[in-house]
Amino acid sequence: MNNLPAVTGGPASRGQNSVRFAEPELHHELYSITVALEERIGATGSEAVIEHSHALEELLRRMRSLLGKVGALPESSLLVVRDIVLDPDGWLLMKGEEPISLTKREFEIFAALLKNKGRVMTRELLLESVWGYDSEVDIKAVDVYISYLRSKIDAAGQPSIIQTVRGLGYVIRN
């Protein structure tokens, strides 16, 4: 085959042009969009090729389906919203194919919001889950860190991924 690194878990893309799964039963490789479709299918003998234009949720669903056939997929801890993938186990945040650098507090706040996607999280709850129950940190620190997060993950001209619920707190919705 080629000299691609074998990957058994974590996000599907970490900066390389493609990923090969180490399980010998699988002959699926994900290639970058720069390689012609015929070349991708012919070079790998793959049964499926997934284009970058698919939504991340669709990509993850299809990968789970393919890997589930051979029992090769452990329960995933990846958290996904729009083009953002958060890997709490690997302490990694990807926006599309770009890794986003977050501080420990930013990561913990974003993880808490994603784990509770669709539920409003109060400032108090976020403060307690990130800084601890007996913390003397001011509640406004949550607002400051939400601002930092928005500046790092939101696309210009698009609605914010983290929505403010006036008088209550914050929520992430698809």
Q: 0.85 exceeded by the pTM?
A: no
Look up the domain containing 32 and give its range: 6-68
State the average pLDDT for the chain.
Answer: 75
> Given a cut of 80, is residue 5 above it in pLDDT?
no
Task: Identify the domain boundary among 20, 42, 68.
Answer: 68
Task: Identify the domain boundary among 68, 89, 109.
Answer: 68
Q: What pLDDT, in 10s, does the model give residues 32-85?
A: 443 455 555 555 555 555 555 555 666 666 666 666 655 554 556 889 999 899
Does residue 73 belong to any structural domain of this protein?
Answer: no
Report which of residues 148 and 18 the model is more confident about: 148
**Interatomic CA distance for residues 124 and 133, integer angstroms:** 9
Residue 96, amino acid: G
Determine the pLDDT at residue 130: 95
142 and 106 both lie in a single domain:
yes
> Given a cut of 50, is residue 126 above it in pLDDT?
yes
> Given a cut of 90, is residue 7 above it in pLDDT?
no
Determine the pLDDT at residue 156: 85
> Given a cut of 70, is residue 13 above it in pLDDT?
no
Does residue 74 belong to any structural domain of this protein?
Answer: no
